Amino acid sequence: MSDTIVPLTTKKDWASDQEVRWCPGCGDYGVLQAVLQLMPELGVSPANTVFVSGIGCSSRFPYYMNTYGVHSIHGRAPAIATGVKTARPDLDVWVITGDGDALSIGGNHLIHMLRRNVDVTMLLFNNRIYGLTKGQYSPTSELGKVTKSTPLGSVDPPFNPLAVALGAGASFVARTHDLDRKHMTEVFRAAHGHRGASFVEIFQNCNVFNDGAFKDIVSREQRGEMLIDLKHGEPVRFGADGHLGVMATKDGSLQIVEVADVGEDAILVHDKHRQNPGLAFALAGLSHDDHSPTPFGIFRQVESHEYSSAVSVQVAHAYERNGPGDLGALLRSNGTWTVK
């Protein structure tokens, strides 16, 4: 992120003149509006901001932002964003990706961007389907999912995106959903403010090829008893009047309980700053399907060595020792030949 003071902007300053071309009713619209609403509040400039995407419906996002943007190739957005941020640490870099783009062909690039802790904000739109290519199963599709590419049902165990990010050592990991703009904005703001790699999974509805995938969790009728809102330093309680809670068992696993049965003191207190990712892993794995209580919010936020600034320090030290480099001399330094 840049510390430069910039003129005030409005939502209109951030929206491009391009027609937004997602299917009517797609959850992507809600995410776009949340980002457009947030950007003027961040104190950053469109001219100093870059949105990088890969391939998929979500990856049209850079066209709709009045910023610099790269609509890259399948799965490579994290690698390209790493290059952008490393070459220009002053730029504000975002990655927009989907469950197929980031967790299939792009999985290797994703984990290395996260382990390096590059100062990039990544939004992963998870609709558990390949929408752009018309409805094949994705790495997050549930077991038994019947699609055009799995007519007898998927036999692949799905990825848990948060667990993947935590396993790669991500220093900021969060989850939100496309039906709550306020929650999205709060999570995106925190992700952007974090120095290092920020990973945000968004439950996003594809109303054409996987409609209602998360309705048992995030619909207005269900979310009161199904959505677990994580708040740092507070007991993990949810449901009407907080009658349900999350308790740590003796073996370290988490269990959903009635607070009245176990007492307030037995309920887990959320600590997003815990260096050991074990708690975040346990919370990420608390829900095993699309029909049980599921945590949302910030799972982990810790300080860690940041990649692009470390590279900048190395470059500066090399310049002090050796002066400006000579690219031509480097290219001809060894193993050159002339073709006639």
One-letter amino acid for residue 239 of the chain = G
Give the 3-state secondary structure of residue 124: strand
Q: Kindly state the average pLDDT of the residues 103-118.
A: 96
Distance between CA atoms of 98 and 55, rounded to whole angstroms?
A: 8
Mean pLDDT of 179-191: 98
The two beta strands, 92-98 and 49-53, are parallel
CA distance 167 to 182: 28
Specify the pLDDT at position 90. 95
**Strand-strand pairing, 294-301 and 237-238:** unpaired
Residue 1: pLDDT band with limits 50, 70, 90: very low
Q: Is the pLDDT of residue 36 over 60?
A: yes
- The yes-or-no verdict on residue 4 having pLDDT over 70 is no
Q: Could you tell me the two tokens for 54?
A: 């890969």
Strands of 178-232, DSSP E: 198-203, 227-229
**With the C-alpha atoms ordered 70, 112, 164, 186, is the resulting torsion angle positive or negative?**
negative
CA distance 295 to 228: 4
Q: Domains of the chain: which residue ranges? A: 11-234+271-311, 235-269
pLDDT, the chain, mean: 94
Nearest to 97 by CA among 9, 28, 30, 22: 28
Q: Could you tell me what percent of the chain has a pLDDT over 70?
A: 99
End-to-end Cα, the chain, rounded Å: 49
The model's pTM? 0.93
Phi then psi for residue 148, to 5 deg, are -65, -30
| Range in 203-207, 233-237, 309-313 the model is least confident about | 309-313
The CATH code that applies to domain 11-234+271-311 is 3.40.50.970
Between CA 320 and CA 212 the distance in angstroms is 58
The stretch 68-75 carries a mean pLDDT of 95
Which tens digits make up the pLDDT trace of 251-275? Answer: 889 999 999 999 999 999 999 999 9
C-alpha closest to that of 281 among 253, 314, 309: 253
Mean pLDDT of 100-123: 96
What is the band of 242 on the pLDDT scale with cuts at 50, 70, 90?
Answer: very high
Contacts of 208 (CB under 8 A, 6+ apart): 23, 26, 131, 135
Task: Give the pLDDT confidence of 294-312 residue by residue, as tens digits.
Answer: 999 999 999 999 989 888 8
